[in-house]
């Protein structure tokens, strides 16, 4: 859904420092929630598609409008320092994904080059 797709493709549900991120999909699109956890507290997950159930956690990113499950829009529910931490995580994930993609492309190129060489050697030896 609007405001969820970009981030949902970068993260998996889990705890990232003091942030607990919930990611998933339903029939109409992606959903994405962020909760801030108290210092030293680990998240208590409530399944892959449900937010954490810590009593003291506060949802800071989630549904800001629309009909949940149909046309929801996502955004910041509360402003604060967690936003900078989150955007840092976003940049780290983007860099990691770009590096993984570059490595994957290089591996494919090496495989193709090796196959090309093998084919040429086989045909040259005919």
Q: How many domains does the chain have?
A: 1
What is the per-residue pLDDT across 29-71, written as a single tens digit (0 to 9) for each? 888 999 999 988 888 877 665 666 778 899 999 999 987 777 8
Using alpha carbons, select from 31, 33, 24, 56 the residue that is nearest to residue 43: 56
Contact residues for 109 (Cβ-Cβ < 8 A; gap 6+): none
Q: How far apart are CA 86 and CA 126, in angstroms?
A: 60
Question: What pLDDT shows up at residue 45?
Answer: 75
What is the per-residue pLDDT across 74-111, written as a single tens digit (0 to 9) for each? 999 999 999 999 999 999 999 999 999 999 999 999 99
Strand 19-26: give its sheet, edge to edge: 14-16, 19-26, 29-36, 58-65, 73-76
Question: What pLDDT shows up at residue 92?
Answer: 95
Model pTM greater than 0.85?
no
Using alpha carbons, select from 22, 10, 91 the residue that is nearest to residue 63: 22
Supply the range of the domain harboring residue 78: 5-124
């Amino acid at each position: 859904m609007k405001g969820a797709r970009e981030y949902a493709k970068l993260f998996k549900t889990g705890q990232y420092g003091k942030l607990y991120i919930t990611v998933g999909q339903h029939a109409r699109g992606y959903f994405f929630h962020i909760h801030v956890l108290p210092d030293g507290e680990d998240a208590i997950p409530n399944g892959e598609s449900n937010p954490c159930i810590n009593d003291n956690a506060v949802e800071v990113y989630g549904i800001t409008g629309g009909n949940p499950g149909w046309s929801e829009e996502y955004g910041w529910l509360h402003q604060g320092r967690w936003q900078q931490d989150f955007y840092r995580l976003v940049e780290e994930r983007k860099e990691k994904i770009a590096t993984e993609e570059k490595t994957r492309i290089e591996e494919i190129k090496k495989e193709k080059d090796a196959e090309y060489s093998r084919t040429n050697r086989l045909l040259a030896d005919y």
